[in-house]
Chain A
Amino acid sequence: MALIRYIGRRLLFVLPQLFGIVAVSFFLLKMIPGDPALLMLGPLASQEAINEIRSVMGLDKSLIEQFVIYLERVLSGDLGTSWQTTKPVMEDLLKRFPATMELVTLSLLFALILGIPVGILASLLKKSIINKFSTYYGLLAGSLPDFWLGLIFIFVFYTILGWAAAPMGRLDLGILPPAVVSGSYFIDSLIAGDWETFNNVVAHLTLPVLTLGLINAGPIIKMTQSTMDRLLESDHIRYARSCGLGEFQIVRRAFRNSLPSVLTIVSVLYSFLIGGAVLVEIVFSWGGAGQYALSGVLNADINPVMGFVVWSAVLCLILYLIVDLLYFAIDPRLRD
């Protein structure tokens, strides 16, 4: 009951938070120099044509008026039109966000599967190779740019060895996407039971997921290792040891206690990667949301950028709510 009230209270704050995010990013974007009308029509366009476009786009109105108009449209679910794709931004993002989320989620899952065991082992076996490995890995993952690793992977596994699928999007050209349920090809092809498509999806996912996963496993290893280090030295774990509990139980208790920290780093990485995966998306021509927003920024196409901001804000707020609920599930002290 207290939980439902908590969620309710959190949701109450979502609207003002969203308003703040939209307002700040709207006015900041408007400060970027560059006239969309001029960019659309090219340098040779007549002043009249430019003025006409400007009034059609509402650019001749004051900033506040433009903002109010924008807000009204957002509230009715209309994020405007991108002049580059000439499609409604909502429609574009509905295609592109699932692509990004699919990539980011699978990458982080991979990073967790790699990072947590390595972190735990590195903490348990202080003098082992795995401990050294984890130290160097952390350094390396922190210093390598992800897009560079992506390029190397493409060069090695696609160009030289020819094992990987072409870095040209989410599916081979000849294969039709599965029927849309979630938007994620990975899930949708499974639902459709279409194994040929599924295999192709996995083939295309492998390299980008490896790239992002390997890079982001670094902080996860570090966080797991350092919290496990702290916990294995903590009073209650030492006490559990002196009660004669087995090593497996000890590690399980210590890991359970380190879950909140791991969760924190994962939530930070997740919200960062929604936009931060853009370079990897470009390298693999992924067609994700970050890529879409970037081209909007470069071409003074404000609607895609704003649309991206609204979407990622909503996603992050949902993400943080889920994370908070997970904290509650893990730690009884927070439940009161």
Chain B
Amino acid sequence: MTDSISLSLNNLTVDYPGYKGSGTIAVKDVSFSIEKGKVLGLVGESGAGKTSIARAITRQLVEPGEITAGEIIFENKNIVSMSQKELRKYLGSQISLIVPNPKSELDPLLTIGRQLGDVVKTHLKLNNKEAREAVLKVLEAVQIPDHNSRYSAYPHELSGGMAQRVIIAMSLICNPKFVISDDATSGLDVTVQREIMKLMQNIIKEKDLSVLFITRDIGLAAHFCDHLGLLFRGQIVEIAPINSFFKNPIHPYSLALLSAFSHSVKWRKVYSTDPQKWSKEFFINGNVPDSMIEVEKGHLVRMIR
């Protein structure tokens, strides 16, 4: 069974001790696993812990954040207990990250070609000429027009959509097995977003990538993922195969989120994001329950019966 799993989180907890007075637990006891070649969507609103999970997997948590419990298993190795040196071999080569706001994520002083080249040179030990070829190839793969001249362009000379393609190129250049997309298209216009998503979909299929797709847009997740997990205040409240989730969403938070997209005033008044208003199987003694119940195969809901 473990052979078919690309990455799994087991009871991951991320804490920001001393942040704003008492410690804030950003991610609490989160578990999921992503099968090879599959896309898991992780949907949540701001403050739900989406980015903390992405940064925990790459071990890039912002100070004073730290992983206080749990493990992250990638290909039978625990990322949490890796040394920085060992971790560095995985990051960018086997596990790569696609980030939003591509323009601030690229070094403003270096050309695109140089930044992509640095990554291949580091991981694949290529010489300058081989690196250049690899860069041009990947720029072509992400459909950057006129890629020969874009090679020597600086980030500020690119449009948002182009810069996002460069970030995707960066994540693909070493042929990774696992890709994390952290709100990757949030800053883009809808028509550009659509093109980028199409590109990503094709590449995922072609390269048989496993993907953790983090977004706050459940509509995007619905069309892009094989599984869907809903994050609420650092915990997964519902996780299911995509069809099972949309046929039978159960958790009140899931329903509230869907109501927000349907703009149905009626249902939004019934299902709220305020846990105080949830019925008692979902929220007891001021907390969500610790346990999840399997309502269908692979469809888990945080509730008590």
Q: Taking the complex as a whole, does A directly touch B, i.e. does some CB pair lie under 8 Å apart?
A: yes
A-B pairs under 8 A by CB, number: 71
What residues of A have a CB within 8 angstroms of the CB of B90 in the complex?
Answer: 244
Chain B residue contacts of A331, Cβ below 8 A: 108-109
**Cβ of B127 to closest chain A Cβ, rounded Å:** 17
Q: A333 at interface (Cβ–Cβ under 8 A)?
A: yes
A309 interfacial contact with B, CB 8 Å: no
* Nearest-Cβ distance from residue B172 to partner chain A, whole angstroms: 12
A245: interface (CB < 8 Å):
yes
State whether A330 touches B101 (Cβ < 8 A).
no
User: B105 and A239: CB pair below 8 A?
Assistant: yes
Q: How far is the CB of B145 from chain A (nearest CB, A)?
A: 21
A238 B60 Cβ-Cβ under 8 A: yes
Q: List residues 72-98 of chain B with CB under 8 A from any CB of chain A.
A: 87-93, 96-97
Interface members, chain A 299-336 (any B CB < 8 Å): 330-333
One digit per residue, 1 when the CB lies within 8 angstroms of any chain B CB and 0 when it does not, for chain A 236-279 equals: 11111111111001000100110000000000000000000000
B99 within 8 A of A: yes
- Closest residue to A126 on the B side, CB-wise? B63
Question: Given A236-B107, A333-B154, are A243 and B101 neighbors across the interface (CB < 8 Å)?
Answer: no
Contact of B109 among A239, A243, A249, A332 (CB under 8 A): A332
Stretch of B115-123, B218-226, B282-290, B295-303 that contacts chain A: B115-123
Identify which of A233, A243, A246, A257 contacts B108 (C-beta below 8 A): A257
Residue of B nearest to A332 (CB): B154
A235 at the binding interface (Cβ < 8 Å): yes
- A244 with B89, Cβ < 8 A, contacts A239-B97, A249-B122, A333-B156 known: yes
The answer to whether A239 and B88 touch across the interface, beta carbons within 8 angstroms, is: no
The minimal Cβ–Cβ distance linking B108 to chain A, given in whole angstroms, is: 6
Flag whether B106 is at the interface (Cβ < 8 A). Answer: yes
What is the number of residues of chain B that contact chain A, defined by CB distance less than 8 Å? 29
Question: A242: which of B91, B115, B123 is its contact (CB, 8 Å)?
Answer: B91
Majority DSSP secondary structure for residues of A touching B: helix
Q: Would A236 and B96 be within 8 Å (CB), given that A242-B58, A242-B91, A245-B118 are in contact?
A: no
Q: Which one, B104, B110, B115, contacts A235 given CB within 8 A?
A: B104
Q: Which residue of A lies closest to B170 (CB)?
A: A243
- B62 is an interface residue with CB less than 8 A from chain A: yes
CB pair A244–B123 under 8 Å, yes or no, is yes
Residues in chain B near residue A234, CB distance under 8 A? 104
What's the least CB distance linking B151 to chain A, in Å? Answer: 14
Write the chain B residue with the least CB distance to A256: B109
Tell whether A242 pairs with B60 under 8 Å between CB atoms, given A235-B101, A235-B105, A256-B109.
Answer: yes
Number of interface residues of A (CB under 8 A): 22
Contacts of A332 in B (CB 8 A): 108-109, 154, 156
Q: How far is the CB of B207 from the nearest CB of chain A, in Å?
A: 18
Least Cβ–Cβ distance between A55 and chain B, in angstroms: 62
Q: Closest CB of chain A to B183's CB: distance in Å?
A: 13
Evaluate contact between A243 and B96: CB separation under 8 angstroms. Answer: yes
Is A242 within 8 A of B122, CB to CB?
no
Closest to B100 in A: A235
- A246–B104 CB distance below 8 A: no
CB distance from A202 to the nearest CB of B (A): 37
A227 to chain B, nearest CB (A): 13
Residues of chain B from 100 to 146 with CB closer than 8 A to chain A in the complex: 101, 104-110, 115, 118-119, 122-123
- Neighbouring A residues of B99 by C-beta, 8 Å: 235, 239
Could you tell me if A246 and B88 are in contact, using CB atoms closer than 8 angstroms? yes
A106-146 Cβ-contact flags toward B at 8 Å (1 or 0) = 00000000000000000000000000000000000000000
Alpha-carbon distance between A241 and B105 when the two chains are bound, in angstroms: 11
Residue with the greatest number of chain B CB neighbours at <10 A, chosen from A243, A330, A332: A243
Report which of B97, B105, B108 forms a contact with A333, defined as CB distance below 8 A. Answer: B108
Given A257-B109, A333-B108; A242-B97 close (CB under 8 Å): yes
Q: CA separation between A236 and B110, bound complex, in Å? A: 11
Taking A235-B105, A257-B108, A331-B108 as contacts, is the C-beta distance between A246 and B122 under 8 angstroms?
yes
- Chain B residues with Cβ below 8 Å from A237 are 107
B92 close to A243 (CB less than 8 A)? yes
Q: What is the chain B residue whose CB lies nearest that of A240?
A: B107
User: Which of the residues A238, A243, A257 comes within 8 Å of B119, measured between beta carbons?
Assistant: A243
B78–chain A nearest beta-carbon distance, Å: 18
Give the CA-CA distance A67 to B26 in the complex, in Å: 71
Is the pair A244, B156 in contact by a Cβ cutoff of 8 Å?
Answer: no
Which residue from chain A places its CB closest to the CB of B167 in the assembled complex? A239
Docked complex Cα distance between A246 and B99 (Å):
20
What are 12 A-to-B residue pairs whose CB atoms are below 8 Å?
A: A236-B107, A238-B60, A240-B107, A241-B91, A244-B90, A244-B91, A244-B92, A244-B119, A256-B110, A332-B109, A332-B156, A333-B108
Binding site for B on A (CB under 8 A): 233-246, 249, 253, 256-257, 330-333
Q: Which 3 A-B pairs have the closest CB atoms?
A: A244-B92, A243-B92, A244-B91
